[in-house]
Structure 1
Amino acid sequence: MTEEEYVVFIQPYEDALKNIRVRVEVLNDDYRRKYQNYPIHHLQDRIKKKESIEQKLVRRGYGSDVEAARDCLTDISGIRVICYFVRDIYAVVSLLKKQTDIVVIKECDYISNPKPNGYRSYHIVFGVPVYHTDGMEYYPVEIQLRTMSMDLWASMEHRICYKGSQKLEEKAAQDFKEYAEYLKNMEEEMEGYL
């Protein structure tokens, strides 16, 4: 895909991302007004770079053109929602699912069912409506919801294991699984104070 094709291709994904970010911010503000509390600590969002899209498509055995990206990837635009506690994650997911103009494309609950390495997070891909001058089309936006401790763990694991050598990954794998369990227990204890 050329740079020009990428710029045109990515625009509606950016629009869908803005749409879902505003929805999440509005829910957090409304929650704060109603309950004098808020579930979300902060948000991070991103659009996949052209090179990252092409590399992922090639890794999966697809062509690296715009059509393959549109048909095969659901994580071109993404937002990470960092919450305080697990119950906050499920509250945000429930509130988003009640919105009738977005559709669930796929979801994975790695909180109830952590990955073997200890990774915990809630992933949900929504089809988000984007209105153009000539109509409406849904675009996927992946939302990853984590607590602050889950985000710390995932960031450190990614930095040390994913970007490190195979030897380092094998050495650290068991330790990271234990760290995940420790953080989970700590989080549950802290949530008990509320």
Structure 2
Amino acid sequence: MERTDKPTRVSSRGAATRSALLKAAAQVFRTVGFAKAGVSEVVTVAGASVGSLYHHFTGKADLYFALYEEFQRRQQQRTHHAVLQARSEGESDPTRLMNIAAHAYLLGCIEERDTARLFFSGDGPPGFDYQLRVRLTQWTDRNVALYRKADEPVDEALLTVVSGGMLLAVAEVLGREDADARAFADDIARVLSALEPGR
């Protein structure tokens, strides 16, 4: 479920209120879970009014999706930076770049463990599981485009396996302590590299 309303100009005060509501929603969702959280708890933690919440969001689910979009933007920055770094070091193979991006995504989930758990715990609004699948499809499509741009053959079966495996990998790293989670993320990267064509 994506927001379809047109962006409007937001005053600095409005932006601060929106930010406070998102921060409060993240805190409340982490504490009691999405299903048990109430709008009244969110506005109390934010020090805002119910009216201000509905001025910026359509409700609790909209807050959740907005938090997810912000998390995804940070994750995209992490994966983009990792790929740029690899390219600067001479890497051009699309499969290796995809694997580097996947590893960076896992490390980002570990870095933002509490936030990532909000989205991979299964306690989200109706339609959110579909949103995760849409994002995985988009990620696969971007990788297919990367292969075609590099004039490489596209192994769509491999891309599908990697994309689907990422959901399981994220859930696994989020259930481990930091050092163990990082070691597991490295193991995932090693397994992915073993799937590279020609290996």
What TM-score does the superposition give when structure 2 sets the normalisation length? 0.26
What TM-score does the superposition give when structure 1 sets the normalisation length? 0.27
Structure having the larger proportion of residues in helix? 2
